[in-house]
Amino acid sequence: MTIYQFLLLFLLWGCLPHLCSPEITFRRTPVPQQRVVDARISRGDGKILHRQKRGWMWNQFFLLEEYTGSDYQYVGKLHSDQDKGDGSLKYILSGDGAGTLFIIDEKTGDIHATRRIDREEKAFYTLRAQAINRRTLRPVEPESEFVIKIHDINDNEPTFPEEIYTASVPEMSLVGTSVVQVTATDADDPSYGNSARVIYSILQGQPYFSVEPETGIIRTALANMNRENREQYQVVIQAKDMGGQMGGLSGTTTVNITLTDVNDNPPHFVQKNVHLRVLESSPVGTAIGSVKTTDADIGKNAEVEFRIIDGDGTDMFDIITEKDTQEGIITVKKPLDYESRRLYTLKVEAENTHLDPRFYYLGPFKDTAIVKISVDDVDEPPVFSRSSYLFEVHEDIEVGTIIGTVMARDPDATSSPIRFSLDRHTDLDRIFNIHSGNGSLYTSKPLDRELSQWHNLTVIAAEINNPKEMTRVAVFVRILDVNDNAPHFAVFYDTFVCENARPGQLIQTISAVDKDDPLGGQKFFFSLAAVNPNFTVQDNEDNTARILTRKNGFNRHEISTYLLPVVISDNDYPIQSSTGTLTIRVCACDSQGNMQSCSAEALLLPAGLSTGALIAILLCIIILLVIVVLFAALKRQRKKEPLILSKEDIRDNIVSYNDEGGGEEDTQAFDIGTLRNPASIEEKKLRRDIMPETLFIPRRTPTAPDNTDVRDFINERLKEHDLDPTAPPYDSLATYAYEGNDSIAESLSSLESGTTEGDQNYDYLREWGPRFNKLAEMYGGGESDKDS
């Protein structure tokens, strides 16, 4: 606020006291000696008004904010009618800011403000005033409350809550379409003057947008704004107080406005004519190519749907819309054949899927393109005349008979010759064969329906010029039945006749079976091979027959068994028959005909075992277990006996473990190098199993550094096995593979030999005693063998 504005307001305030002091308050102090003056005023209605004189007189104070003078700002004056100007009264001020912000002259009652006051911080102050006698300190007037109001000046500019606003509006919107509303606030007093009255205006963004001065609503000002031409706009809005007049304070904000897309552009094919190629061997569903479109719109407004609307390949090809890339993928709908047709033409259409009715006038929102598809020739495998073959043949045909012919051709223009073959995995018994040239299938072995009624074969047709091109077809061979099997008894019959049987008594019912399967079903006839005086057969004509007696008085002591030949024949062509013999035993029966005993008692024993038989079997098992245990014990005892039984047995030095061991690289259990070169040299110990004939002077070898752990370990194990009478006498050699440090023969291994086999001299083996004679013969005789 300028000094001139302040002076002007101050002068107005001083010249118009009735505006600054609209009310004068008087309060009477109840002092006993105070004189009350009554003033009587007569009104026109005859009533008399009484006016009482009061002691306090001061105005309600007003103060301008933001005082810029160098002196204290004068607020007002307190005065009591008890004040006679002799300084006997003292004025006291208390309340908001008393003594700090507001001070009072104790003698005169003048009130001053000590510093600048901001109305936006506090709009009024409530204080209390009191007049007291300076000598007695007693109040001469009661304490009274008054208010100092702060008058506003325009010292705050309008402010927006956001420095930058973001808004959007659809493209092609009509003029006046609301975009966004911005609102500014002013901290000045809206009830006093125009300090807080804000007017909006646009500083940047014309002629595209406008703003309403009173509301701050931003609207479109230009018709047909196209996002494809320009998408982003920056608008600067100014808010000015004082009603927008000269001298008002202002604030600005920025609004970034984006034009959102609408579907106002149709799609267009990138290429109006597309040429694609596809192999005729491409399976159904194969993608052979794609067509693309462009659309100035974005998002869902650019989505299109592809379809084939015309052409001579509508039934051979299909098109799929790829949602991610917005492409039309053309696929094979049916199998293609280069020899049938080599070129197809399609008319493809692409249309937007989300249309806006407001912009139909800009349409149509679709486009078309021509797609030509060429079919390329490939070397195709042969094609059979049928998808499968079924041949029927009787089982009695001769070997080499043709049972059927498969046909195949090369569909290519070259028409290569075809070679036929059988997949032997489907004919493991090699019952069939095929002529490689004409595809005739014939038998190579006799057929038997009773063994296999169906044969499922696979025939392979391959081009002679390109054997890799092959095709398989299923061939089903059904073997038809021929009556080549005679019927026979269905089961084994255990037949008996009672000694007291009467003539015509039924003793057995028999039936038959046949491996053949005639079309009319099986029919069997039963008869006797010859007339029998004891039994007869009665055919029931239902493929069963009854065996009846022809006499009585059977005696098992005279004849215990009868053999009855029965002839069974079928009714197919040619008729097959067989003779089955029934064994009929003569048994003793009770009066009810129940068998009691027969001459062959073994046949009457039940299938289960008796108690005696079970006991016998159990005893046998126990004896076998005892024998096994004894054998195992003897074998174990034999293992513990000393291995060397004779001093003359040269095999005592060779024990076969059938285990090579890990060799020198096996260091899991111990350090081989340490065991081969022990640190301590023990006293030479002779073998316990032999008595050496000659004692040789040992050849000392250099000793390795002392290693007490290995030495103690070996000595402990040697001591344990020396005290064990069942352990081998050469335990250190057999268990630890340790020869010792002072071996006379040194190492027998050829791995550590520094010379070749021809340089070795094994004559010293003969000096070691009879136990090394075999080795001496094996190695010492090598030279003689070579010489011979």
What does the DSSP assignment read for 525-574?
Answer: EEEESS--SSEEEEE-SSSEEEEEES-----TTT--EEEEEEEEEESSSS
Percent of the chain with pLDDT over 90: 39
pLDDT digits (tens, 9 = 90+) for 64-92: 777 777 788 888 888 887 888 788 888 88
Spatial CB neighbours of 166, under 8 Å, sequence gap ≥ 6:
255, 256, 258
The residue ranking higher by pLDDT, 620 or 767, is 620
**Mind listing the pLDDT tens digit for each residue in 461-486?**
999 988 888 999 999 999 998 888 89
Paired sense of beta strands 418-422 and 454-463, if any: antiparallel
pLDDT at 689 over 50: no
**Contact 237/203 with Cβ under 8 angstroms?**
yes
How big is the chain, counted in residues?
788
pLDDT given for residue 76 in this prediction: 83
Q: Which own/partner pairs from 763-767 qualify as long-range (CB within 8 Å, at least 24 positions apart)?
A: 767/694, 767/696
Q: Distance between CA 79 and CA 146 in Å, rounded?
A: 13
What mean pLDDT comes out for the span 342-370? Answer: 91
pLDDT of 181 above 80:
yes
Residue 614's pLDDT band, with cuts at 50, 70 and 90, is: confident
Among the listed residues 441, 461, 443, 462, the one whose alpha carbon sits nearest the alpha carbon of residue 390: 441
**Buried b / exposed e across 741-763, counting CB within 10 Å, b at 16+?**
beebeeeeeeeeeeeeeeeeebe
pLDDT at 331: 95
Q: Which of 658, 663, 665, 706 is nearest to 682 (CA)?
A: 706
3-state secondary structure 246-306: CCCCEEEEEEEEEEECCCCCCCEECCCEEEEEEECCCCCCCEEEEEEEECCCCHHHHCEEE
Interval 233-254 mean pLDDT: 90
Residue 80 has a pLDDT of: 81
Kind plus residue range of the DSSP H or E element containing 327: strand 327-332
Distance between start and end Cα atoms, the chain: 140
pLDDT tens-digit map of 618-668: 999 999 999 999 999 988 877 655 544 454 544 445 555 565 555 555 555
Pairing verdict, β 524-528 and 343-352: unpaired
- The pLDDT assigned to 782 comes to 47
- pTM of the predicted structure, to 2 decimals: 0.44
Look at 656 and 108; give whichever has higher pLDDT: 108
**556/596 Cα distance (integer angstroms):** 12
Q: What is the pLDDT of residues 88-104, one digit of tens each?
A: 888 888 888 888 888 88
Q: Say if residue 54's pLDDT is above 60.
A: no
Q: Does the structure show a pLDDT above 50 at 688?
A: no
* Alpha carbon distance 501, 389 (integer Å): 63
